[in-house]
């Protein structure tokens, strides 16, 4: 059951209004990571609530408490919960999105003012902070609601909305809300939810729509080597004492090889090797070495084989060295022997890895390598934080509905992808609600979500709105 033609016609004939609404949303600098902008995040939440109310959605703001940021205690932005439809004969779809954005300053290298939506008629791009992450997708849902209200059309499903204002700053408070609501069972806000749809990631490229069914997890480590009581001068003490940097760099050099192999015994081994059938999944994805090299701006792909590169990102763990705290980091030359240095690295996890199963392998290995150094310096290893990987059943009717909707709107079969990064709330919804979660991206792989000149192509905004609406009809029609 595709969407009724008058729905898609309405979308096509109201694009200017949709873009104006996106401009209004982008104009509110709802940067959750900057205390100076906290009031703007609240303003954005109220703006969104007003929009939902005017489109017939019953809403409430949920207070998520306080937290400390930049040394001050701040009120967390509220979760905006919304509901429309209570027909027991219809399925109930939960939509998640976030109304906060990443920081942006024109001086970061933006070509235009980041909080003023610019419509570039030549390229068809809608440029501005939050255009694609995640205001555009949220507004896609508003567009769908507006069309139905204006046309007097009944929604094909019951809808529930969960919008937060802290996603870019660790989603503080949201997990507790989801868990306490699901603890109420059928009487909780999420009690009758049949499936979840999240539009907060991107196509693999700039051409082909995709459905995303997996996310990597993460575990982040800090390895500290300490020696002298204070920083020393390398003239006075070089070759007289054990230097913490020497030892730390030895340890860091033993974690990952140039080709990406994780050298910590057992970590790579936890993941099964892809068989021919699985490998074929990656071979068929619309992707090329050129895509990744354009994305990173240099010919540095780990392999010339596209499937190998994609598997490295989607179905294999990775280990990245991020930096060293406590060492000299400025420009120029300073002849310091730093007293205590902390190497930072993280491992992206894939099933069946979890932070709990990987941590002991990391600790044991680093401790044994450090012992081999025969140094008098001291070692400390910390697990700073982590999250499990997530993978969904992409043969579920929720994915099938999204596939049919994509075929109806884009006239092509979507790619089935996994993401290398994490959207932790995905796992929370999947585990707490016990229903299938679908990631249905609106934007393209080159949108630059956290970067300068963030954009959403107008065509993705328009066709993406049709996709979200059509998806609801396909969910309604499909036999669960």
Binders of Zn ion among residues 187 to 206 (CB under 5 A) are 200
98 is in an annotated binding site: yes
Among 107, 258, 275, 479, binds a copy of itself (CB under 8 A): 258
Pick from 422, 414, 200, 418: which is nearest to 314 by CA? 418
Least distance between a copy of itself and beta carbon 211 (Å) = 18
Residues 462, 20 contacting (CB under 8 angstroms): no
Burial status of residue 272 (CB atoms within 10 A of its CB: 0-12, 13-18, 19 or more): exposed
Q: Could you write out the DSSP letters of every residue in 427-466?
A: HHHHHHH-SEEEE---B-TTS-TTSTT-EEEHHHHHHHHH
Among 233, 380, 395, 412, binds a copy of itself (CB under 8 A): 233
Question: Hey, is 16 helix, strand or coil?
Answer: helix
Among 11, 197, 309, 408, binds a copy of itself (CB under 8 A): 309
Cα-based torsion angle of the residue sequence 79, 25, 459, 156 in order, rounded to the nearest 10 degrees: 40
Contacts with a copy of itself in 419-438 (CB under 8 A)?
A: 419-422
Least distance between a copy of itself and beta carbon 131 (Å) = 18
Q: Does 1 bind a copy of itself (CB under 8 A)?
A: no
Q: Does 330 bind a copy of itself (CB under 8 A)?
A: yes
* Spatial distance between the Cα atoms of 149 and 103, rounded to a whole number of angstroms: 34
Least distance between Zn ion and beta carbon 348 (Å) = 17
Contacts with a copy of itself in 344-363 (CB under 8 A)?
A: 344, 346, 348
Residue 154 tokens, joined: 């009944």
Q: Does 256 bind a copy of itself (CB under 8 A)?
A: yes
Opening angle at CA 399, ends 397 and 400, nearest 5: 60
User: If contact means CB under 5 to 8 A according to the sort of partner, which of Zn ion, a copy of itself, none does residue 200 touch?
Assistant: Zn ion
β-bridge partners, 379: 225
User: If contact means CB under 5 to 8 A according to the sort of partner, which of Zn ion, a copy of itself, none does residue 133 touch?
Assistant: Zn ion
Beta strands at 436-439 and 195-198: parallel, antiparallel or unpaired: parallel
* Spatial distance between the Cα atoms of 354 and 233, rounded to a whole number of angstroms: 42
Contacts with a copy of itself in 135-194 (CB under 8 A)?
A: none
422 is in an annotated binding site: yes
CB of 134 or CB of 172, closer to Zn ion:
134
Catalytic residues, by residue number, are 100, 167
Classify the phi-psi angles of 70: left when phi > 0, otherwise alpha if psi is within -120 to 50, otherwise beta. Answer: left
168 is in an annotated binding site: yes
Binding mask 116-145 for Zn ion (x = CB under 5 A): -----------------xx-----------
Contacts with a copy of itself in 259-278 (CB under 8 A)?
A: 259-260
User: If contact means CB under 5 to 8 A according to the sort of partner, which of a copy of itself, Zn ion, none does residue 323 touch?
Assistant: a copy of itself
Pick from 52, 65, 54: which is nearest to 161 by CA? 52
233 is in an annotated binding site: yes
Which residue reads 């392998």 in tokens?
361
* Spatial distance between the Cα atoms of 71 and 85, rounded to a whole number of angstroms: 43
Q: Which stretch binds a copy of itself (CB under 8 A): 13-21, 205-213, 229-237, 278-286?
A: 229-237
* Spatial distance between the Cα atoms of 122 and 21, rounded to a whole number of angstroms: 21
CB of 55 or CB of 449, closer to a copy of itself:
449
CB of 252 or CB of 402, closer to a copy of itself:
252
Query: What is the DSSP code (8-state) at residue 239?
Result: T
Contacts with a copy of itself in 367-396 (CB under 8 A)?
A: 373-377, 384-385
Q: Which stretch binds a copy of itself (CB under 8 A): 30-38, 39-47, 148-156, 295-303?
A: 295-303
User: If contact means CB under 5 to 8 A according to the sort of partner, which of Zn ion, a copy of itself, none does residue 274 touch?
Assistant: none
Question: Hey, is 62 helix, strand or coil?
Answer: strand
Q: In 10 A of CB 88, how many CB atoms?
A: 7
Kindly determine how many residues on this chain lie close enough to bind a copy of itself according to the rule CB under 8 A: 84
Least distance between Zn ion and beta carbon 385 (Å) = 17
Task: Return the CA Rg of the chain.
Answer: 24
Annotated binding residues, written as ranges, equal 98, 133, 168, 200, 233, 335, 348, 422, 450
Contact footprint for Zn ion (CB under 5 A): 133-134, 200
Annotated binding residues for substrate, written as ranges, equal 200, 233, 335, 348, 422, 450
């Amino acid at each position: 059951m595709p969407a009724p033609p008058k729905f898609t016609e309405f979308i096509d004939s109201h694009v200017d209004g949709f873009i104006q609404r996106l401009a209004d949303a982008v104009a509110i600098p709802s940067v959750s990571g900057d205390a100076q902008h906290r009031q703007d995040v609240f303003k954005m939440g109220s703006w969104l609530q007003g929009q939902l109310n005017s489109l017939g959605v019953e809403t409430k703001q949920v207070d998520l408490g306080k937290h400390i940021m930049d040394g001050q205690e701040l009120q967390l932005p509220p979760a905006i919960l919304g509901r429309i439809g209570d027909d027991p004969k219809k399925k109930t779809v939960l939509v998640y999105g976030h109304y906060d954005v990443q920081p942006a300053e024109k001086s970061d290298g933006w070509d235009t003012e980041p909080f003023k939506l610019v419509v570039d008629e030549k390229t068809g791009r809608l440029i501005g902070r939050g255009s694609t992450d995640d205001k555009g997708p949220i507004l896609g849902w508003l567009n769908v609601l507006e069309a139905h209200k204006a046309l007097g059309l009944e929604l094909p499903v019951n809808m529930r909305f969960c919008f937060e204002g802290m996603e870019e700053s660790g989603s503080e408070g949201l997990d507790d809300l989801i868990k306490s609501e699901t603890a109420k069972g059928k009487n909780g806000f999420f009690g009758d939810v049949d499936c979840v749809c999240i539009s907060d990631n991107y196509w693999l490229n700039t051409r082909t729509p995709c459905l995303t069914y997996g996310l990597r997890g993460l575990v982040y480590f800090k390895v500290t080597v300490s020696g002298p009581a204070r920083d020393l001068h390398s003239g006075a003490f070089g070759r007289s004492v054990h230097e913490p940097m020497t030892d730390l760099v030895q340890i860091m050099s033993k974690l990952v090889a140039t080709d990406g192999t994780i050298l910590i015994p057992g970590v790579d081994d936890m993941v099964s090797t892809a068989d021919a059938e699985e490998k074929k999944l990656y071979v068929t994805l619309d992707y090329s070495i050129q895509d990744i090299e354009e994305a990173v701006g240099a010919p540095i792909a780990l392999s010339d084989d596209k499937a190998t590169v994609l598997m490295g990102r989607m179905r294999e763990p990775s280990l990245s060295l991020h930096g060293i705290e406590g060492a000299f980091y400025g420009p120029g030359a300073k002849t310091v022997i730093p007293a205590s240095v902390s190497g930072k690295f993280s491992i992206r996890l894939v099933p069946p890895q979890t932070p709990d199963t990987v941590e002991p392998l990391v600790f044991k290995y680093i401790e044994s390598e450090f012992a081999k150094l025969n140094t008098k310096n001291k070692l400390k290893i910390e697990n700073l934080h982590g999250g499990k990987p997530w993978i969904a059943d992409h043969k579920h009717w929720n994915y099938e509905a999204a596939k049919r909707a994509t075929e109806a709107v884009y006239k092509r079969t979507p790619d089935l992808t996994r993401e290398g990064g994490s959207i932790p709330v995905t796992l929370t919804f999947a585990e707490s609600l016990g229903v299938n979660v679908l990631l249905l991206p609106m934007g393209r792989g080159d949108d630059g979500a956290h970067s300068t000149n963030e954009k959403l192509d107008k065509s993705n905004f328009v066709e993406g709105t049709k996709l979200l609406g059509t998806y609801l009809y396909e969910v309604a029609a499909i036999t669960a």
